[in-house]
Structure 1
């Protein structure tokens, strides 16, 4: 069934690229590859991505050639840069697969992987110099660096149409996912994401931010209440 899906996808996308190349930002190819190779719980079929690497590389190149302009909407910019971040992480894994963790690579956060409008970007560049400066803390629940403790990789592409709804939905999902945060009346253990990016969440008021989304409300977070981060690959086996 997957082989049939890939064949149909390849034929469709071949025509799609011919008709739409260089015209506008479109994440349809990424959407379809994700749908085929990522489960609903965010587990990734990396051999599947390698099988579809020709299409992935086409999409990746399209991001270098088609990018938001100054006058583009905030929604389009957010969708583009979040998709690009996740695609870069994916590229580094499938280019070096099999590996056990993105941290097996040499300085993965600083590797310049793509040139957009004359500027070379790494994961850190996109996260810190683009996305965090857009003043939208919920992006931290959409960015996936191919690890088990990351917010799960959505098996759909982000678009200007769905990005604002996704920011809200993924915040709820991440904060109330017991694999990412344990928040009960008896125990509080939250993701290291809240420690690493503390200032992004209500100017450091992590508790008030979490309580906007958590089904169980908390009063405080102690230093010892941050969960150990699992850097192993978010792989479907």
Structure 2
């Protein structure tokens, strides 16, 4: 009887541990982030940072959810993982700006070691037992683990020339549609890309990450999947100047 009781207790403890592990490994909900984006991002992608500051309790609640649900490739699908990291990058960028607001540019936020690291190297993101900076997430995880060039139109660096911050959270269910929409909207935005059949004046993002866009063909092949105009293969390519001013709905200090 004593051995049987001990066996029952042991099995119960194992069951509780397994249930806890499975619960922590389940994908996080992005509902709070979705509602924050709808409330504080304009149709043109500009961000009401003061609104996010006033809503800081809910933003912090979402970041807490992210910090306790690190993606797990044994339990999460690839789309669940990618949606998580895209949302995390954008949400923690908002957090970085609101913590230093008002600023004229994200680049005005100084890291610990000047001239060595950039703002994207500030390690302020804690997810379970791991610490990240924005570069870790974009280049060490998103670009490294996911063969998806459209992510460059989904991550937002809080600047005027960035692809706009979407008004909805990325979700596994709608991820392909959302990434296609982000790509098409960015290339159709004449303030960032001017595209004709014979000449394209495009964002330097395309140049910076050209290798990501040319894995399965040339650059024109990729652009023509999402461009509002069919571009000739011999079209002239010019890269525009990048505007690092903050993508704020309100003027700084206004």
TM-score class, shorter-chain normalisation, is 0.7 to 0.9
Deviates more, 1:176-185 or 1:132-141: 176-185
What are the ranges of 5 or more consecutive residues in structure 2 without an aligned counterpart?
A: 1-22, 111-117
Name the SS of the counterpart of 2:120 in structure 1.
coil
Who is 1:105 aligned against?
109
Whether 1:64 and 2:67 are equivalent positions in the alignment is yes
Whether 1:179 and 2:182 are equivalent positions in the alignment is no
Name the SS of the counterpart of 1:57 in structure 2.
helix
Deviation (angstroms), 1:120:
1.2
Larger-Rg structure: 2
Who is 2:222 aligned against?
209
Equivalenced residue count is 216
Whether 1:40 and 2:43 are equivalent positions in the alignment is yes
Tell me the distance in 2 between the aligned counterparts of 1:113 and 1:220: 45
Deviation (angstroms), 1:24:
4.5
Residue among 141, 147, 151 paired with 1:139: 151
Tell me the distance in 2 between the aligned counterparts of 1:24 and 1:217: 39
Tell me the distance in 1 between the aligned counterparts of 2:154 and 2:186: 9
Who is 1:92 aligned against?
96
Distance 1:199 1:24, change over 3 A: closer
Residue among 220, 229, 240 paired with 1:227: 240
Deviation (angstroms), 1:171:
1.0
Whether 1:189 and 2:201 are equivalent positions in the alignment is yes
Distance 1:117 1:220, change over 3 A: farther
